[in-house]
Structure 1
Amino acid sequence: MASFPVISLEKINGEERAAVLAQIKDACENWGFFELVNHGIAPEFMDKVEKLTKEHYRKCMEQRFNEMVASKGLEAVQSEIDDLDWESTFFLRHLPISNISEIPDLDQEYREVMREFAAKLEVLAEELLDLLCENLGLEKGYLKKAFCGSKGPTFGTKVSNYPPCPKPDLIKGLRAHTDAGGIILLFQDDKVSGLQLLKDGEWVDVPPMRHSIVINIGDQLEVITNGRYKSVMHRVIAQTDGTRMSLASFYNPGSDAVIYPAPALVEKDGCQQLYPKFVFEDYMKLYAGVKFQAKEPRFEAFKNTATLGQIATA
């Protein structure tokens, strides 16, 4: 199997732009994932984000997680657990309105660093969306505009830690799923591995690399590209040693954004529109209950809803 795509953005604005774009195109079409290096976020700043995230987990989250494990008797499980993830997590919302000031237990330095990190990731997400537009032959800004809705895109970060697990064969760090949203930017631990994606029926490790940002395609980009780019099943395998840090930032459509295949792509391919039209918030309501199931029935559900006709005339 071809090795996992690692792409440097260093020369995206130079003579090698076409070559970098070709790498991104190949990764989007054949993997649904790629790892970015030289992406413009300073290594020293990423080190600070990692240090503060790990300190916050040890100080504020670790004991709570251990108490949860003890209360559920998870250390002694004998059979596979399929309704629980071995992760300690909280969520930061950045757009349309930040909730960072409202999250309890965060010290001031961590709040400020996460605000700054979110701002840098937002810029990178929008740059990547425009690179995807260029590869797809869509006008610059098309994908950002498609995500906007009436209040702009939604953007947030899931801060997760995956502590050592005594029974990784029986409890997943995070069960297999595709991401519901748009484009996902992940800053993951470079020492403790665990993230895997499904490619050609096999689980493939996403290599931990220092200062890289892993990018993956969400369900909404699959719809807008009419299936050219596909969201991919992925999971986290818990490890017996070491706590794995994961900062997954989701650049998603606004709640009232209407999502549908780009007409230019449907016409260009000379094929039918393969995905329905729907409101992102409606998709998320459905996704919440079936996250760990196959994505195809989710799309089918919207093909079969009575609201489809109403949306189509909007």
Structure 2
Amino acid sequence: MKVRLGWLVVLLLCGPAALPAVAADDFPQRQIRIIVPFPAGAGPDQVARLIGQHLQDAFGQTVLIENRAGALGSIGAQEVARSAPDGYTLLMGTNTTHASNVATLKSLSYDPVKDFTPVIRTTTTAMVLLVNPKFAARDLPQFLDYAKAHPGLTAGYGSGASQISVAQLQSRGGLSVVAASYRGVPQALTDVMAGVIDLTFGDFSVAIPQMQGGTLRGIGVTSATRNELTPGLPALAEVMPGFEATIWYGLFAPAGTPEPVVGKIYAACEKFLSLPATREKLASVGVVVATMTPAEFGAFVKNEIVRWSAEVKAAGIQPQ
């Protein structure tokens, strides 16, 4: 009894500081959830499912991927921000949830910095300007000519980067388009294929398969230069100087998650993403492994909020 009381006194005196190491040693003991704040099939969803499968194998516990799409990812992000800080609920965040939303949404229901603990930046990618195969223009010069001659083309967006890209068609390309909001990029792609809207911007991971299958036509890429996976597509910046939208994905935990738990998740993800087979699989769909440590990722997010806020302002987007 005296021994047990002694340990109890030690824990009470040390407080929460004594608990994280124990939690990290035992973590995980049950199912982990990764919330993807975008629809199934979107770029972040594809990366989350690859990482989730690896964590499941590495930890010996089920890893469940849950899609909580809506409001440019803020619904899913809010859910994670309000979850217990124990490492069992994670967010596959992006530059939308943790940077551009600060400027595009009037009342953001979470703080991208204060409400989260960065775990690891996983990947970066870009987008493709996509149209229906029956669209009158077949390449970028034809697209510009057609768009100028037909003002009011409908342009769908389902993320912060795609919203900013649509706006850049107007601010940097001098085009007149009507922006239409979607719950996610896949829904916008579906409506382009169905002929409901004229164009959209899709992440490489969802755009490349559709282009290869002939269901969508690529016009140009949003990266500053051409991408080796789509050498035939010009960078939009070639004819619209300054046009760029490079995006990133990464894992976040709720603020206050014990550092040792974060470190354990980071180490498992870093090991998986460093494998040549993983890099090749992601690169085949235009997603580049570009990891950052928790500290690096945290500093990066703060800088990204500044950068994307400037992009939103330059594109003339009014907060919704």
TM-score, length-scaled by structure 1: 0.22
Larger radius of gyration: 2
Of structures 1 and 2, the one with the larger relative CO (CA 8 A, separation 6+) is: 2
Q: TM-score, normalised by structure 2?
A: 0.22
Higher helix share: 2
